[in-house]
């Protein structure tokens, strides 16, 4: 049950759900308002119609019972008196009529919303009246101080709840009123003059209750619901906005990192391009075997490898380098190579290999493990140096050896330049922190090959010089 409520809550609080609910609520608001106002109007019309009908019926009944009926009972002879009910042919005096009509008017409103009173600060002696309140005292004083004044009002409350509006109008003494009051035995004042303020006629209208408006409560409830939905929508969209800001911040961070990485990769690609150019143009044959694949095929050979072996890159890449072996290849040296590869150890040795055209050559071979784990490298880098001329140097005519001296000097100079470039490249990669394990192993293998080749070239140069001097 809890999980279901939780899922429902998550569904409702989804931004798109809240947005649709708010939109539907806004679209239905005019219909709800029209329905509520129509209902309220009908209710008010009904209330007023019933009040007017009741008041008219009561006044007609009062007039029939207390005026016409009494005149008929007295054969048309009437005696006006405040106690007209106790006098044969008696009819009410104007003040009594106003008081009793006020009572009828009050009785026609069951909710006490509208009241009518005829009030004076000089009531007849035998009449029971309540004390005047502050508003009534001020109203009588205001009318007596300003005879031209016609109304005195007071509004209480702020329109919410049960507020009230009080309206007082002056009761002015006429000639008939002055004659009656000055001669009446119960009158507390006997010197009235025409135009004097006898008292006030007061009407109090109180604010309508909500139930008087029919479905107005539904309108308020609907408005409250709409406000609540708006608050929820604001919270949800604020949260969504915060999530978007966080996501944008993360995206900006990632973008900055990617830009930095792209710049670093660009620099690294440049360095790798230089490194690749150096490897491709090296005078030492270089081949790389992938030990992770079946039969450890070659995945790279440089131009020097193709010049030494005669095998193009298309013929070499994808095959195990055993294709260089032939009839006179020393089996014992081949066994040493296999053991080094199986144990993931370096190898250095000399053996006879065969070119693509079938001619043989002496190969000074160096193998260096790269990457992976100890004893199980991912790659092996092989350096090949053709040392055939060293093996047959003793059988070469002196003049031919002497003619090789410029080539040997040139090779030594090229080798020295290659070693300097390799050392500079290694230092640059180490300083930038981008020297991978395979790069470092490759450069180390390259350095070893350079040293070995330098020794061989130095030995060849020494032999040439020795044979030249002997001759």
Domain match, 186 and 276 both: no
Can you give the pLDDT at residue 279?
62
Can you give the pLDDT at residue 436?
59
Can you give the pLDDT at residue 365?
93
Q: For residue 115, how many C-alpha atoms fall within 13 Å in the half-sphere facing its CB?
A: 12
Pairing outcome for strands 90-92 and 79-81:
parallel
Domain boundary among 163, 186, 208: 208
Domain membership flag for residue 100:
yes
Domain match, 300 and 158 both: no
Give the H/E segment covering residue 367: strand 360-370
**Angle (nearest 5°) at CA 316 between 312 and 319:** 165
Domain match, 179 and 296 both: no
Residue 340, C-beta contacts closer than 8 angstroms, at least 6 positions apart: 346, 347, 367
Can you give the pLDDT at residue 261?
74
Domain membership flag for residue 227:
no
Query: 352-383 burial string, b = 16+ CB within 10 Å, else e?
Result: bbbbeeeeebbbbbbbbbbbeeeeebbbbbbb
Containing structural domain, residue 114: 46-208
Domain membership flag for residue 368:
yes
Can you give the pLDDT at residue 52?
43
Is-contact 104 92, C-beta < 8 A? no
User: Does the predicted model carry a pTM greater than 0.75?
Assistant: no
Domain match, 57 and 188 both: yes
Q: For residue 255, how many C-alpha atoms fall within 13 Å in the half-sphere facing its CB?
A: 6
Domain match, 199 and 68 both: yes
CATH of the domain at 306: 3.30.450.20
Can you give the pLDDT at residue 24?
77
Residue reference for tokens 């199980």: 376
How many domains does the chain fold into? 2
Can you give the pLDDT at residue 351?
92
Domain match, 180 and 288 both: no
- Below-50 pLDDT ranges, the chain: 41, 48, 52, 56, 159-161, 210, 212, 394, 398, 470-471
Can you give the pLDDT at residue 216?
59
Domain membership flag for residue 24:
no
Can you give the pLDDT at residue 196?
92
Residue 42, C-beta contacts closer than 8 angstroms, at least 6 positions apart: 214
Is-contact 216 36, C-beta < 8 A? yes
Domain membership flag for residue 4:
no
Domain match, 334 and 431 both: yes
Domain boundary among 184, 208, 232: 208
Long-range pairs for 394-398 at CB < 8 Å and ≥24 separation?
Answer: 398/467, 398/468, 398/470, 398/471
Domain membership flag for residue 358:
yes
Which DSSP letter does residue 374 get? T
Domain membership flag for residue 217:
no
Domain membership flag for residue 28:
no
Domain boundary among 208, 234, 260: 208
Domain match, 149 and 282 both: no
Domain match, 202 and 284 both: no
Q: What is the DSSP string of 171-214?
A: EE--HHHHHHHHH-TT-S-----TT-EEEEEEEEEEPPPGGGGT
Domain match, 331 and 429 both: yes
């Amino acid at each position: 049950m809890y999980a279901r409520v939780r899922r429902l809550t998550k569904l409702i609080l989804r931004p798109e759900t809240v947005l649709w609910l708010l939109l539907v609520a806004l679209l239905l608001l005019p219909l709800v308002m029209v329905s509520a106002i129509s209902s309220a109007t009908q209710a008010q019309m009904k209330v007023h119609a019933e009040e007017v009908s009741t008041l008219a019926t009561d006044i007609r009944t009062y007039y029939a019972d207390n005026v016409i009926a009494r005149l008929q009972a007295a054969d048309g002879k009437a005696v006006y008196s405040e106690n007209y009910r106790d006098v044969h042919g008696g009819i009410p005096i104007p003040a009594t009529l106003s008081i009793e009509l006020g009572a009828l008017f009050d009785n026609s409103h069951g909710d006490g919303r509208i009241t009518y009173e005829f009030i004076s600060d000089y009531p007849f002696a035998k009449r029971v009246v309540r004390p005047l309140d502050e508003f009534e005292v001020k109203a009588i004083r205001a009318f007596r101080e300003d005879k031209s004044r016609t109304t005195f009002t007071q509004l209480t409350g702020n329109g919410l709840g049960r507020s009230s509006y009080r309206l007082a109008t002056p009761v002015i003494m006429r000639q008939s009123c002055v004659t009656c009051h000055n001669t009446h035995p119960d009158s507390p004042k006997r010197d009235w003059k025409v135009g004097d303020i006898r008292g006030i006629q007061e009407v109090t209208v109180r604010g309508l209750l909500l139930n008087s408006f029919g479905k107005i409560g539904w309108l308020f409830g609907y408005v409250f619901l709409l406000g609540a939905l708006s608050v929820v929508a604001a919270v949800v969209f604020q949260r969504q906005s915060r999530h978007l800001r966080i996501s944008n911040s993360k995206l900006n961070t990632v973008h900055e990192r990617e830009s930095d990485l792209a710049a670093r990769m660009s620099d690294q690609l440049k360095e790798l391009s230089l490194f690749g150019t150096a490897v491709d143009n090296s005078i030492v044959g270089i081949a790389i075997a992938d030990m992770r694949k079946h039969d450890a095929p070659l995945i790279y050979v440089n131009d020097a490898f193709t010049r030494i072996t005669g095998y193009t890159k298309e013929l070499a890449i994808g095959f195990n380098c055993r294709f260089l072996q032939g009839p006179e290849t020393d089996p014992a040296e081949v066994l040493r190579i296999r053991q080094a590869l199986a144990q993931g150890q370096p190898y250095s040795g000399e053996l006879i290999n065969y070119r693509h055209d079938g001619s043989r050559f002496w190969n000074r071979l160096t193998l260096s493990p790269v990457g992976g784990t100890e004893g199980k490298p991912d790659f092996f880098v092989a350096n090949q140096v053709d040392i055939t001329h060293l093996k047959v140097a003793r059988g070469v005519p002196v003049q031919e050896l002497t003619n090789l001296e410029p080539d040997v000097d040139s090779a030594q100079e090229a080798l020295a330049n290659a070693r300097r470039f390799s050392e500079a490249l290694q230092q640059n990669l180490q300083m930038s922190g981008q020297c991978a394990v395979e790069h470092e192993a490759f450069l180390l293998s390259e350095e070893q090959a350079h040293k070995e080749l330098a020794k061989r070239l130095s030995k060849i140069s020494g032999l040439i010089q020795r044979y030249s001097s002997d001759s």
